[in-house]
Structure 1
Amino acid sequence: MITAQPAVLAAYTPDVTAVGDSLTATALLGLVPLAVFFLLLMAARRPALQSALGALITALSIAVLGYGMPVGLSVLSATQGLVFGLFPVMLIVVAAIWFYELTVVSNRFEDLRRSFSAVGRGDLRIQAMLIAFCFGGLLEALAGFGAPVAITAAMLMAIGLPKLKAAVTVLVANTAPVAFGAMAIPITTAGNLTGIAPEEIAAVVGRQTPLLALFVPMLLLFLVDGTRGIRQLWPIALVTGLVFAVAQFWCASHFAYELTDVVSALAGFAAAVIMLRFWAPKTPDDQRSQVEAEPLTPRRVGLAVLPYVLVIAVFALAKLKAGGLDVPALLGRFKIELQWPGLYGNLVAGDGSPSASAVYKLEILGNPGTLLIVSGLLVTLVYSLMSDGDRFPMSARTGLLAAGRTLKNMRTAIATVATVLALSYVMNQSGQTVAIGTWLAAVGGIFALLSPALGWLGTAVTGSDTSANALFATLQQTAGKSAGIDPTLLVAANTSGGVVGKLVSPQNLTIAATAVGEPGSERILLRKVVGYSVVMLAALGLLVYLQSLPVLSWMLP
């Protein structure tokens, strides 16, 4: 533990009736920064970074002028959130995207893409399902930030799918994996903000989103070929969705939750490949895909899949507990635990004790970002040894240059996420979030029915489930405590709601429209997908509500 002497600042305790001794007035004032953020983003059409900065300035002003928080403490809250947004949140994201970039610069990613495209016995519908759902899930696990939509949309057009149909298909497919995207960074963020163990949140999410995963492949067949597609191909859609869902549940609850999408995508794809050895689809002539000429050798397929095998092995080793060996405990010795200078001791809980939220924690070796960097170094080493001139180039310099490009390309995203986390910390530590949550909890147990809608709204507007959790996770936790609902369930519901909000996010719609060469078609795409988003949100709301009651409480860990 790193300790720091409290600076000479006035102590501050958050008060949910700070404005006119009224909970309602205090909560409504606390909603203003969120309203500013959404209005700047949607109505004024300002970039996400500018919108977040505007909301942050608003939150700081309200914390000081409305809630009575000392200026120094409010600024220190923002700095703590900013640093947390950089380490570990964006460290994990940047490391994940760098890991993905290594497969691209080595030309092995092209072989992986062709491996997914080659499966399906020439049936365009099966290939579209596997590319959009399984390959898209794999990309969501590592790249995120719209890459799954952009890449898989281009792949679907390459096998013969019409432009808008390809865009709609990949948008719908990019739902179930989102909660565990970028090495489950939405869940890690929610855990860090609420103090709830991320493993506990992941276990609950793993009992919600798999139900979506079970049906999404069937829905994709319908989008590609209507009822005929379902009638002819439902067996393979059922097997793919079932195996993906079971793997998602198992990994989220019993393995490394950060690897949930990687394991689920590979398991679902493997199940489909095995099934196609014993079952042949009835493929009409108008649904035959365009087959690539050059066949892939088993060695090239193996090397294309190798990075994902390595990352699973590294994370599995980091979770290993066998005999007298406890690797997590060993890695956990190397960590930073810092009482935030000037904030700790001056930010006081209701019982007079220093607020635990003013302690910054960062695991150094056990951090998923560190494990991804180790995995990336191993991939660089193996690919360098297997380098084959211009066809499959790789060297330490290539890997280093890829890291530099990733940082450069991500600089705006890094700044945006760090600013959103600064906003979140100011709202949380000033009491704005607590006031809003306590006020919303007045609806009682029915709040569980509405809980996923907050995550849906946050992701629909920001395009990021991580940002949705940064904005609403603590609010969900507070509302749960006040309403007598399991806070972990509601934080998980916020994450799961964000999954289907991604479907209608303007950011995702723009990426899809651009990827298929139809810029300006966002409104058309929105009309085609909004119904699916609303139906899935309603299903999630009902599921969470029933999970909060004895009816389905047995589903929870």
Structure 2
Amino acid sequence: MQYQQHFTPIADSLGLSALVALIPIVFFFWALAVKRMKGHKAGLITLAISLALSAIAYKMPVSLSLLSASQGAVYGLLPIGWIIITSVFLYKLTVKTGQFDIIRDSVLTITEDRRLQALLVAFSFGAFLEGAAGFGAPVAISAALLVGLGFNPLYAAGLCLIANTAPVAFGAVGIPIIAVEGPTGIPAMEVSKMVGRQLPFLSAFIPFYLVVIIAGFKRAKEVLPAILVSGISFAVTQYLSSNFLGPELPDILSALVSLLALAIFLKFWKPKTIYRFDHEDQNAQHQEVPKHSAGTIFKAWSPFLILTGFISVWGIPSIKLALTGHYEGSNSLLSAINSIGSAFTFAPEVPFLHNHILNADGEPLPAIYKLEILGASGTAILIAAVVSKYIVKISWSEWIKTLGETMNELKFPILTISSVVAFAYVTNASGMTTTLGLVVAKTGFLFPFFSPFLGWLGVFITGSDTSANLLFGNLQKVTAESVGMDPLLAVAANSSGGVTGKMISPQSIAVACGAVGLAGKESDLFRFTVKHSFILVTIVGIITFLQSNVLSWMVP
């Protein structure tokens, strides 16, 4: 049984077909923002609606729709669900053994100011994790850290999602930009240069924006020197590394420079008033922060340092190939790892779906259950948790018990993630997503402004800047050529706009809620982030429009 994708199934009208394709997305927005439905419930109903529409409106065989959903659900479990389980588990180990109290004290010795803590943890440390791992780990870990420091869980999750905007395009060692070279034929280095001439404007702005959200405009001005150090050091490094080194290192380098620059700056500069939340004890300034030796602080941070080390190693391209059983070089150590990796990598075809869907050009689309167990970032985090067991001195029985507690706590977030990724796969396979993309492509001379919105839509649906680039990259290129826009600018705008959709993506919302213990409160977090997502994608749209029409000298 084969299915030929058709993008105008309703009366051969793109407009009417797009209205139908919008139904699951509008429902999801309504369910979370208006109805305040629990995430797993909203996700399952949205999946059911997309299955019904794919069969009724798009005439996709029900069996193929269900198989597409199963492919998405499996991807929701591994790698995405696996990352959140292991990330939260590692965090809980540090809490149970008392190490997190020391971590909190060490951050407080740098600054007790909540505004500056958010910059250090949500913006800089989160960006580092995005560059090394991606796929939900940065938000899960940095949000858990902020909660441990005393931030309101909803606030912590929302701030980390918004802060994660700056690094997403270069996340997971540059995968989103490297991936878009395939469908577009535009060299990844060129896309990296162009994205590196768009995102630094956003990166410089995000720290100020975060502090305004936390404390308001007046209180943000009080720490403007620190905000400028954080944002400008990040933005300048992001521009230089993306334009002269390539897409792999901008996040890691920008985050490290920003983190060190702000930490050193705060040794010499302090805000006139320490900002705390309204609910906190106003006499906190009279309470001494316990002092710890450098060795004690190092031991407390070591689980996260080990985690950083492992996920950084897991991200090295040659090692990644070996861990997934695809290494073909002559290095004996990597060849040995490759043997183990291949034993833990499974890529069975989705039965009756693989090559049974034909795209608009009549080419069959592959459908594979991709189970890279050893190569998954979550496995790197689990190994970090095993190593950390011996450092934080916890028994195996308590270690296993904590893992069981974590999995039990996260059952609903994992269900949410699997259902919404399944929904994304159904809308992609049926052609609904492409229908919506074709509507955006009809905006003519305004296309440079709306081009980032296409990336934003892609990331909202798929939860991934990489997936959005693969989905819409070539459509951006073809449309740009037809309206007289530089195709490189359009492809880059897809990635730059996509980063602003990450904070409202159902997967990201579920990951963040799971990490901070807000399972079932996804609607509250969605309401918190949705307006910021619209504001930031509009800014990227304006930047792209100006670069297309006024600042064309910025296009390499």
Deviation string 1:256-304 (CA, Å, 9 cap, x unpaired) is 969947x765653432332344x34473699994553421211111112
1:414 Cα deviation (Å)?
Answer: 0.7
Q: Which residue of 2 aligns with 1:133?
A: 119
Q: Which residue of 2 aligns with 1:112?
A: 103
Structure 1 residues 285, 257: closer, same or farther in 2, change over 3 A?
A: closer
1:73 Cα deviation (Å)?
Answer: 1.2
Q: Which residue of 1 aligns with 2:323?
A: none
Q: Which residue of 2 aligns with 1:496?
A: 499
1:241-260 aligned within 5 A: 241-245=231-235, 260=251
Q: Which residue of 2 aligns with 1:414?
A: 414
Contact conserved, 1:93 with 1:185, CA < 8 A, in 2? no
Q: Which residue of 1 aligns with 2:368?
A: 359
Among 49, 59, 62, which residue is 2:40 paired with? 49
Structure 1 length as normaliser, TM-score?
0.73
Among 296, 301, 305, which residue is 2:292 paired with? 296
Structure 1 residues 456, 70: closer, same or farther in 2, change over 3 A?
A: closer
1:251-270 aligned within 5 A: 260=251, 267-270=257-260
Amino acid at match of 1:294: P
Q: Which residue of 1 aligns with 2:93?
A: 102
Residue 67 of structure 2 corresponds to residue 76 of structure 1: yes
Among 258, 264, 267, which residue is 1:274 paired with? 264
Amino acid at match of 1:108: Q
Structure 1 residues 114, 497: closer, same or farther in 2, change over 3 A?
A: same
CA distance in 1, matches of 2:103, 2:195: 29
SS in 1 for 2:356: coil
CA distance in 1, matches of 2:274, 2:88: 39
Contact conserved, 2:451 with 2:493, CA < 8 A, in 1? yes
RMSD: 4.9
Contact conserved, 1:451 with 1:490, CA < 8 A, in 2? yes
Which blocks of at least 5 consecutive residues in structure 1 are unaligned?
A: 1-9, 158-162, 388-393
Q: Which residue of 2 aligns with 1:308?
A: 304
Q: Which residue of 1 aligns with 2:540?
A: 540
1:187 Cα deviation (Å)?
Answer: 9.0
CA distance in 1, matches of 2:117, 2:302: 19
Among 375, 391, 394, which residue is 2:384 paired with? 375
SS in 1 for 2:348: strand
Q: Which residue of 2 aligns with 1:152?
A: 146
Q: Which residue of 2 aligns with 1:5?
A: none
Contact conserved, 1:186 with 1:465, CA < 8 A, in 2? no
1:366 Cα deviation (Å)?
Answer: 2.6
CA distance in 1, matches of 2:179, 2:119: 29
CA distance in 2, matches of 1:411, 1:191: 33
Which moves more between the two structures, 249-258 or 369-378?
A: 249-258
Amino acid at match of 1:349: N
Contact conserved, 1:81 with 1:418, CA < 8 A, in 2? yes
Structure 1 residues 347, 228: closer, same or farther in 2, change over 3 A?
A: closer
Structure 1 residues 452, 329: closer, same or farther in 2, change over 3 A?
A: farther
Residue 214 of structure 2 corresponds to residue 214 of structure 1: no
1:46 Cα deviation (Å)?
Answer: 2.1
1:341 Cα deviation (Å)?
Answer: 0.8
Amino acid at match of 1:99: L
Structure 1 residues 309, 26: closer, same or farther in 2, change over 3 A?
A: same
Deviation string 1:113-136 (CA, Å, 9 cap, x unpaired) is 11111114xxx5xx3233112123
Which moves more between the two structures, 137-146 or 399-408?
A: 137-146
1:202 Cα deviation (Å)?
Answer: 8.7
1:220 Cα deviation (Å)?
Answer: 5.8
1:150 Cα deviation (Å)?
Answer: 7.6
Contact conserved, 2:122 with 2:159, CA < 8 A, in 1? no
Residue 357 of structure 2 corresponds to residue 347 of structure 1: yes
Contact conserved, 1:98 with 1:402, CA < 8 A, in 2? yes
1:185 Cα deviation (Å)?
Answer: 8.0
CA distance in 2, matches of 1:167, 1:11: 45
CA distance in 2, matches of 1:37, 1:536: 21
Q: Which residue of 2 aligns with 1:436?
A: 436
Amino acid at match of 1:87: L
Contact conserved, 1:445 with 1:483, CA < 8 A, in 2? no
Among 218, 226, 234, which residue is 1:236 paired with? 226
Amino acid at match of 1:375: A
Contact conserved, 1:179 with 1:495, CA < 8 A, in 2? no
SS in 2 for 1:283: coil
Contact conserved, 1:111 with 1:304, CA < 8 A, in 2? yes
- Percentage of matched positions with identical amino acids: 25
Contact conserved, 2:21 with 2:435, CA < 8 A, in 1? yes
Structure 1 residues 146, 273: closer, same or farther in 2, change over 3 A?
A: closer
Structure 1 residues 29, 474: closer, same or farther in 2, change over 3 A?
A: farther
Deviation string 1:208-250 (CA, Å, 9 cap, x unpaired) is 554334234445666658658646x544332233344456678
Contact conserved, 1:458 with 1:471, CA < 8 A, in 2? yes
1:454-493 aligned within 5 A: 467=463, 476-477=472-473, 479-484=475-480, 485=487, 488-493=491-496
Q: Which residue of 2 aligns with 1:4?
A: none
Q: Which residue of 1 aligns with 2:4?
A: 13
Contact conserved, 1:339 with 1:359, CA < 8 A, in 2? yes
CA distance in 1, matches of 2:274, 2:122: 26
Which moves more between the two structures, 281-290 or 41-50?
A: 281-290
1:192 Cα deviation (Å)?
Answer: 9.0
Structure 2 length as normaliser, TM-score?
0.73
Deviation string 1:290-346 (CA, Å, 9 cap, x unpaired) is 553421211111112222332333234341769964988876662333321111132
CA distance in 1, matches of 2:265, 2:382: 35
Amino acid at match of 1:17: T
CA distance in 2, matches of 1:192, 1:373: 27
Which moves more between the two structures, 41-50 or 340-349?
A: 41-50
Structure 1 residues 363, 70: closer, same or farther in 2, change over 3 A?
A: same
Contact conserved, 1:176 with 1:212, CA < 8 A, in 2? no
SS in 2 for 1:442: coil
Structure 1 residues 466, 265: closer, same or farther in 2, change over 3 A?
A: farther
CA distance in 1, matches of 2:47, 2:37: 15
SS in 2 for 1:76: helix
CA distance in 2, matches of 1:508, 1:95: 12
Structure 1 residues 331, 449: closer, same or farther in 2, change over 3 A?
A: farther
